[in-house]
Amino acid sequence: MAAIWKRSIGLDALNALGENSLVAHVGIVFTVIGDDYLEATMPVDARTHQPFGLLHGGASVVLAESMGSIAGYMCVDEGSSVVGVEVNASHHRAVSSGEVRGICRPLHLGSRSQVWQIEIRNKRDQLCCSARLSVAVLG
C-alpha cells in the first residue's frame, strides 16, 4: 500500500506534539511511522494502573485516541485538522507491568471523516485491547 500521510513529520516532531499534555504525562512515545500505520508504546506503571495494579482501561483509551488523532492529523492537508467524534474499546487481556504497544491503521479515510483501528498488545504480542476511533475532518 502506498504511504497515506499528507504531512511530512518525523518521530522527534511527532513526540514533541505531545509535550505538556496527557500524552507525555502517561508516557506515550511514538516509535514507528510506517507507510500506512503508526506504532507507539505506553508504560504500564503507577501512571497508567487502576487501583488493583492492572492497566487502566481508560489509559488504553488514551493511547488509542492519541494515536488515532495524530494519525488523522497526518492524513489531512495543511490547513485542515481532525477532532475525535467517537471512541470505543474492548479489553481482552490484563497487563500489570512493562509496557504496551499500540498499532494504528486506517479503516476509512474520507474527506469529512476517518475511522482508525488501534490494537494494543503486550510484550508477548498478545492482543490486550482493540479500539476504534472516528474523527471528523475540519477545514
Q: Give the pLDDT confidence of 37-68 residue by residue, as tens digits.
A: 999 999 999 999 999 999 999 999 999 999 99
Name the pLDDT band for 90 (thresholds 50, 70, 90): very high
Question: Considering 39, 65, 78, 86, which one is annotated as catalytic?
Answer: 65
The secondary structure element, H or E, covering residue 127 is strand 127-138
Q: Do residues 96 and 44 make contact, with C-beta atoms less than 8 angstroms apart?
A: yes
86 is catalytic: no
- For the chain, the structural domain boundaries read 11-138
Pick the CATH number of 11-138 from 3.40.50.880, 3.10.129.10, 3.40.50.720, 2.60.110.10: 3.10.129.10
Determine the Cα–Cα distance for residues 49 and 55; give it in Å rounded to an integer: 5
